Amino acid sequence: MALGLIAALAAAGCYETGYMLQALEARVAPREQALRASLLARLLARPRWVAGTALSIAGAGLQVVALALAPVTLVQPVLALGLVLLLVLANRVLGEQIGRLELLGSAALIAGIVLVATESPERSNGVSSVLALVLIAAPLAVLTLLPFALRSRAPLRLALFGAAAGDSLAAIGLKLGADGFAVDRLGLAALAIAGAAAAGLLALTAEMSSLRGIPASHVAPVVVAAQVIVPAVAAMAAFGEPVSAAVVVGVLVAAGGAALLGSSGAVAGVREGAVEAEALAHHGGGGGQGGVEAGP
């Protein structure tokens, strides 16, 4: 359990730092590239975005390790602690003040994690209900694909919800992959992780696209809360992790804290302030990126 917590904490740091680097580049991409392969093609040519992606991939590997050692209901809330890192960056780098909202969100997030850890739920080793897994995963898959099916007709809010669904589906896939490795079913593990990677890639494209028109302070709460709640529900309904009032309350409290932190002006300052400054710098100095917009 202790090693699982350490791996989850390391994954959280990788995810949020990587996300910050990715968002800085995504927000200055041309708006017409939203929800298109050309968006990722452009971003892949940007070293800072590639570095952020490498950190995210490392985070995924650490998440698989965490899921192999600790229950989903504990790992997913711990991953949300990465938002506290963004809060620290907001204070130290941008000079943002930490107010009651930030303190309340941090306290709720930590309290929820402590509550789940105190309950010490057992880690599941496989799927306990295939039907429950299908009933959870199928709607997530549809919502993940829907923005891409609609393309230009898809509202940015739908892209945001698709990103939240895709990230949740990826977390479930990584859990299946960790279980496959645990019982030496390497083919199943590889297939599950490949599915998680596909869901994560779609979620990433949708999230980067939603950031072109929706403030990061609105994107983060939806995505992070979904990443905590949906996999935890799947863990209890489909993977057989123990259901108890303490675990349910802990997950909900942690998700609420993560949502508060995500909506914080200080955290948004990290996600948006540096983006706008860089966009203005490119626009004002030529930089080969004429017409770049500073923000939504």
Per-residue pLDDT tens digits for 143-190? 999 999 987 777 888 888 999 999 999 999 999 999 888 888 888 889
Residue 121 lies in a domain: yes
Residue 156 lies in a domain: yes
Q: Domain of 186?
A: 2-284
Residue 196 lies in a domain: yes
- Span 133-147, mean pLDDT? 95
pLDDT digits (tens, 9 = 90+) for 80-108: 888 787 777 666 655 667 778 888 888 88
Question: Which pLDDT value is given to residue 184?
Answer: 82
Residue 30 lies in a domain: yes
- Span 125-131, mean pLDDT? 89
pLDDT digits (tens, 9 = 90+) for 263-287: 776 666 555 533 333 333 334 433 3
Between 55 and 152, the more confident residue is: 55
Residue 184 lies in a domain: yes
Residue 290 lies in a domain: no
pLDDT digits (tens, 9 = 90+) for 248-257: 999 999 888 8
Between 117 and 111, the more confident residue is: 111
Total number of domains in the chain: 1
3-state secondary structure 226-278: HHHHHHHHHHHHCCCCCCCHHHHHHHHHHHHHHHHHHCCHHHHHHHHHHHHHH
| 3-state secondary structure (DSSP) of residue 288 | coil
Residue 155 lies in a domain: yes
Residue 291 lies in a domain: no
